[in-house]
A and B are shown apart, each in its own frame.
Chain A
Amino acid sequence: MAADEGEPALSSSAEAALAALQRSVAAIEEFVERTSRQALVIASLESELGRAREQHRYLEQELARLRVELTNGDPMPAAERDALVEDQNIFAHMFVTSDRLAHASSASEALDIGVEVLHNLAGVHRYAVWLVPAPGAPLRMVAPSEARFRGAAADRAIVLRAIATGRPTSTGGEPGALPGAFPLLLDGIAVGAIELVELVPQVGARLGRLQDELLQFLSERLALSICQADARGRADDRGWIGAIAGFALIAEEQP
């Protein structure tokens, strides 16, 4: 083998030792680089750990605070909570009934809404709505139109008693018992009655709170709503607007 001039020739063992040394240097450099990368990762993890510890401390404090609140607090008893939910439910039903009746644009629509309320909201399965066309005149059944919802054996005496007394009546005088009747009042005078024969099975055999509240509401409002809707239906839009304009003028003239 010819050696370069000025450079001593290396023996093959020296070349191998040099190569090994170079590999070691490269390995050490790689190790140093890796270590510095790991140092960065460790620093980042330590910072994250610090944040996690802070978060943990905060959550521990919150937990302790909530435990104290739970111990010292006065949680609502289940019966009270149920009554509140029931109240909300009844208010929702009454609001919808009131709103729908207020927007009826004819007497028949007001009556249909009353029927919808009885059937869908109160869960009354068989019933009849009676009106007295004139004092002393025979009762006229104005709803339901479908025979399957009519009371098969109407107890006319209960209906007549509700109209005569202006108060709800029921079999044996027991509140909520069926058959029963609620008078339809107009300025405190009974002009008809809702006769209740049967409720849907899921409600049971007696009126519950929801049914009682809704029927009281219909008793006081349905006849009035029928009259208001009838007047509204007869007046055209100009008539309505004219009535409001007239009222505005009168109200303005008041001292």
Chain B
Amino acid sequence: MTAHTVLVIEDSPTMRQLMSLALRRLPGLSLVAASNGAEALERMAEVEFDLILLDLNMPVMGGFTFLEHLATRATRPPVIVITTEGDAADRERAASFGVAAYVTKPLRANDLASAVTKILGA
């Protein structure tokens, strides 16, 4: 896998650490963390990302509001939603924003690594 920069938007430091551990075996991956949507938009002004891992329930700016902001951009990286919310309504809403994948918590480390590899291209 060539070098890729991934933005992890997740308010739980424990989840961020787990995601980092899950993706550690993928070579050339560099992770940048943001603890909510607003912080993520600031990071996106500084760095061009190849992929976004997005939690839905976060303080300050949640995942869906972030997706609304993202939709207004001319170019946007693919998004993998990682959430505890597994209900159909949330999935459909996320799909309407064209998210690339929807992964539910509890996270299976292997599933996340596979989803990222599939999108970024091994």
Contact = CB atoms under 8 A, between A and B. Distances in A.
A92 B84 contact: no
A93 B15 contact: no
A85 B106 CA distance: 15
A200 B105 contact: yes
Contact of A200 (B14, B17, B22, B84): B84
Contacts of A119: 84
Given A88-B110, A89-B110, A202-B86, A116 B18 contact: no
Given A89-B108, A92-B21, A210-B106, A120 B14 contact: yes
A125 B83 CA distance: 13
Interface residues of B, number: 18
**Is chain A's binding surface mostly helix, strand, loop or mixed?**
helix
B109 interface: yes
A173 to B, nearest CB: 25
Interface in B34-88: 84, 86-87
Query: Counting chain B CB atoms within 10 Å of each CB, which of A85, A113, A200, A210 scores highest?
Result: A200
Given A100-B13, A116-B12, A200-B105, A93 B18 contact: yes
A121 B14 contact: yes
Interface in B73-117: 84, 86-87, 104-110
A89 B110 CA distance: 7
Nearest to B10: A120
23 contacts: A85-B108, A88-B110, A92-B22, A93-B106, A96-B14, A97-B14, A99-B17, A100-B13, A116-B13, A116-B14, A116-B15, A117-B14, A120-B105, A120-B106, A121-B14, A121-B18, A122-B106, A123-B105, A125-B84, A201-B86, A201-B87, A202-B104, A203-B106
Interface in A81-113: 85, 88-89, 92-93, 95-97, 99-100, 113
A127 to B, nearest CB: 13
Contacts, number: 60
Contacts of A120: 12, 14-15, 84, 105-106
B108 to A, nearest CB: 5
A121 B15 contact: yes
A88 to B, nearest CB: 7
Contacts of A202: 86, 104, 106
A20 to B, nearest CB: 64
Given A93-B106, A96-B21, 9 more contacts: A88-B110, A93-B18, A99-B17, A116-B14, A117-B14, A200-B105, A201-B86, A202-B86, A211-B106
Contacts of B87: 201
A149 B50 CA distance: 35
B56 to A, nearest CB: 12
Contacts of A116: 12-15
Contacts of B15: 116, 120-121
Nearest to B110: A85
A197 to B, nearest CB: 15
A237 B36 CA distance: 31
Given A120-B84, A200-B105, A92 B12 contact: no
A86 B57 CA distance: 26
B109 A88 contact: yes
Interface string B1-24: 000000000001111011001100
